[in-house]
Amino acid sequence: MTFNPNAEIRSDNVSRGGSGGGFRPGGRGGIAIGGGAGGCLLLVLVLVYALMGGNPLDLLGGGGAAPQQQEPVAEGGRLQECETGADANERDDCLVQATVESADSLWSQLAPDSGIRFQEPRGRVFSGQAQTGCGAASADVGPFYCPADSTIYVDVSFYQQLEQHFGADGGQLAKAYVVAHEYGHHIQNLEGTLTRVDHNDTGPQGAMVRLELQADCYAGVWAHHASDTVDDEGVPMLEPLTREDVASALSAASAVGDDHIQGEVAGGQVIPDTWTHGSSEQRQGWFMRGYEKGTVAACDTFAADQV
């Protein structure tokens, strides 16, 4: 997956910040991305979370709230190093920003056609800990979406975990899939699906798994249209995806399957009744469905007899 080096990614919607303040060079609360003791701690925390059977592609805040404009709790600075697609090809924080902006371009068109009143989410790149509209979050939960402040939170050091401990192949689309999945939760928030779903209904055919598989399908819908998305000036944001790109996304979808995490990652027993995100096969299947069809309608996991 390659961003068009000339595409602009200067949105103010994606910012950086952890607990108690945002990132500003020389300012208070500055946080080094992906390094130092925080990085090591994160590594441990993500592993502990996985060992307990938790799934790192999560959704905070349970039932969610209406996406009224609530400011993120921690105000951060814009990602000043991220200006163009060339930066997104080089740096993971810029990749997060560029993927959010590409998804903005797509969903601002697609959502109204499906009767969804579209509002852009915010994105926040953080390290270690973040204050969110859903409370304090540490990086052990991995990337997540908080409905109360309509914000996608990504700690980019998770990408190392995704590859090394969960077994994704480390490709760029594997990383973008994570962002596009969380963006899918934002669409579900706008649809009102997040508040309608019983968050205690776990298991391979349960409501929680259907919710997560729909977010995977929405990530596939983004991938289907990715090379058609444009920046504010109308410049295409991405080059057409290759077969290898799609294989990367599938490797990530497989890596975060509940059966894979409970079994191979945690080395424990696979207990389907506890699943909240779906098996590797289910997650790959719904990503591919969204990728092949490219429509919101194709992602109605709640109407499917079996998911």
For Zn ion, which stretch binds (CB under 5 A), given 50-58, 88-96, 124-132, 263-271?
50-58
**Smaller CB distance to Zn ion: residue 79 or 215?**
215
Window 183-222: contact mask with Zn ion (x via CB under 5 A): -----------------------------x--x-------
**Smaller CB distance to Zn ion: residue 57 or 307?**
57
What token pair was written down for 215?
Answer: 């977010």
**Judged by CB under 5 A, which of 7, 31, 43, 57 binds Zn ion?**
57
Q: Give the closest residue to 255 by CA, choosing from 143, 178, 180, 166.
A: 166
What token pair was written down for 176?
Answer: 């973008």
What's the rounded Cα separation, in Å, for the pair 72 and 52? 29
**Residue 241 binding Zn ion, by CB under 5 A:** no
| Least distance (Å) between residue 188 CB and Zn ion | 9
What's the rounded Cα separation, in Å, for the pair 261 and 267? 8
| Least distance (Å) between residue 113 CB and Zn ion | 24
Phi, psi of 205 (to 5 degrees): -115, 10
For Zn ion, which stretch binds (CB under 5 A), given 13-21, 54-62, 169-177, 290-298?
54-62
**Smaller CB distance to Zn ion: residue 163 or 182?**
182
**Residue 261 binding Zn ion, by CB under 5 A:** no
Q: How many other CB atoms are there within 10 angstroms of residue 76's CB atom?
A: 22
**Smaller CB distance to Zn ion: residue 4 or 202?**
202
For Zn ion, which stretch binds (CB under 5 A), given 15-23, 55-63, 118-126, 192-200?
55-63
| Least distance (Å) between residue 215 CB and Zn ion | 5
Q: Which long-range contacts (CB under 8 A, 24 or more apart) does 281-284 make?
A: 281/254, 281/257, 282/204, 282/209, 282/213, 282/257, 282/307, 283/212, 283/213, 283/216, 283/253, 283/254, 283/256, 283/257, 284/250, 284/253, 284/254, 284/257
Q: Which residues contribute to the site for Zn ion (CB under 5 A)?
A: 57, 59, 212, 215
